[in-house]
Each structure stands twice: as structure tokens, then as C-alpha cells.
A and B are shown apart, each in its own frame.
Chain A
Amino acid sequence: MDSENTITKPAAEEAAMAERTRCGCCYRPNVDILEQGDELLVRADVPGAKSDSIDIHFEDGTLEIRAEVPPRYEGREEFLLREYGVGDYYRTFQVSEAIDSGKISANYADGVLTLHLPKAEALKPRKIAVDAS
């Protein structure tokens, strides 16, 4: 341990264990959430996950991120240092802003999942024309 600033990842407390078919620990990915103009940007660290094993679900203002991570070790090796666990990621968020769920987009690169959540049209400032009759 050469530093007190070693980054670790916490276990997911809200993991829905009943829905999990694989054993092992489930981790809570670290996230950054930013507001960027007309959208919210969520960036989650899910290192080890493959893009096709990431599942994103948005319903009734709840955003759910689930990412499967394949085992990294064969089980025959001896550990000289073991500082983090390898396992699936799970995290949910309550999004208070109205989100246009049809336009949510996501991309994945270098272990970081980026979600773009565009705000619903209703929230955007709008000019209403007054009809003269």
C-alpha cells in the first residue's frame, strides 16, 4: 500500500439479488452526473464490462444500470495482492427531471458508460403564439 488514496469500488447495496443468476458480489459503479444544456449526462465507470452485456432501463423516472462482467481469473492462480473484487455492476437513480425516454442514448468506451438523457420537450422554454381572432 503505497498511498492512502487507493481507489476502491463499493459493493452495491441495492442489488436485486433475486434477479441475479450468477453468484458473486455486485458492485456499485462510480458515476459523474452533469447537466449539459438540454440534457443530463451520466458517466459510469464499469471497467471489465463488454458493451453488449450492459443493460440500461428507464421507467417512471428510475434509471437502472446493470452490467455483467465476466470472471477475470481462472481460479488456479495464487493471489499476491487482491485489492478489488471482480463482479457485475448495478445501480439505480431517481431522475427528478422529466426525461424524453425515447431519445436516451448511450455509448461505451474504455470502461466508461456515457448516457445522454435529453430533457422532455415540456421542460424546454417555449414561446406560445397567441392567435388573434
Chain B
Amino acid sequence: MNLIPWRNKRESEGGELSPMVALRNEVDRLFDSFVREPFGSLEWPSWGGGQWSPAVDVTENDKEVTVCAELPGIEPKDIEVSVVGNQLILSGEKKESTETKSKGVYQSETRYGSFRRTIPLPDGVDTEKVDARYTNGVLTLRLPKTPQAASKRIEVKVT
């Protein structure tokens, strides 16, 4: 049991059940996305009201956790990133340009208005050193792991 390199302490305290819990969460997530997908391609009305949330990718390697969100057409100053406890909060507003409001609209598929997304962070992330960059409409957040979390790899010695 102790030889299994596990991601963090809290999860390993869940005992043998935690891989099952992880699997169940994964199935739930796939089910959710499958149910939502047919509706995801619907055209949203552009009345600007209502909140939307951007889709995110969260990846992890030995050194850091990376969060990527596609936020096209949003000025970097309108994006707010904050960390509360172990939750990363992305919020902001996609402003509707004046011409969208006043001119004849043939087709409208993009969503305007305020957005908000809360992303749970794994343990062992140094939330003081978050690096946020916005390039070509993609927001990339790099959250380095704490030295303790980064070096939690157990070497198996051959005797």
C-alpha cells in the first residue's frame, strides 16, 4: 500500500476505496458531458444576460498544475483570477461590442455577458505563485507545486 505513489495524502487516507471513487467521478463526468453535449452545440441567444462558464482543461505534471481556458474576444483586463482556499475562481465579462447591439444580426453563436468558473485544485499547489498569461484568446494559468508535493516520489531500490 505504501509503495503505491499516490497523488496526495488526503486521497490515500480514503483507503482502498479511493480508486473506485476516482473511477466513479470519471464516469459521472463523462456522463455529464455526454448529456450536455447535444445542447452544447445549440446556438445561444445573444441577449447578454445570464452567466456562462468557460470550458477548461486542467493538466498536471511533476512540477506544476496548468489550467487552460479558451476565452476569445475578452480583454485581459476583464479577466479576474483568484484563489480561495483550494478553489481557483475564473470570472469576468465578455463585453458586447456596440455594433452587435445596433446593427442587423444574421447569425449569433457567441455568448456575451459575465462568466464564472470554479475549479477545485489538487493539494500541494503553491497558490502564491500563480502565473497567468493570455495569448491569442487562450488563458493559461501555471500553478507550481510546493517542493514537498513535487518530490513525493518513492524510489524503489533493487537489492
Contacts and interface: CB of A to CB of B under 8 A. Distances in A.
Interface of A: 1-10, 30-37, 40-41, 43, 45-50, 72-73, 76-84, 86, 110-112
Given A2-B118, A46-B72, A48-B70, 5 more contacts: A37-B103, A48-B137, A81-B56, A82-B58, A110-B137
Interface string B26-40: 000100110011011
A58 to B, nearest CB: 17
Contacts of B52: 3, 5-7
Contacts of A43: 73, 110
B89 to A, nearest CB: 10
Contacts of B111: 5, 7
Interface in B132-157: 134, 136-138
A32 B109 contact: yes
A8 B55 contact: yes
A110 B61 contact: no
Given A7-B55, A8-B55, A77-B60, A34 B105 contact: yes
B41 interface: yes
A1 B32 contact: yes
Interface in B38-74: 39-41, 46, 50-61, 65-66, 68, 70-74
Contacts of B39: 4
A5 to B, nearest CB: 4
B96 to A, nearest CB: 10
A20 B76 CA distance: 33
B57 A82 contact: yes
A80 B58 contact: yes
Contact of A32 (B58, B75, B110): B110
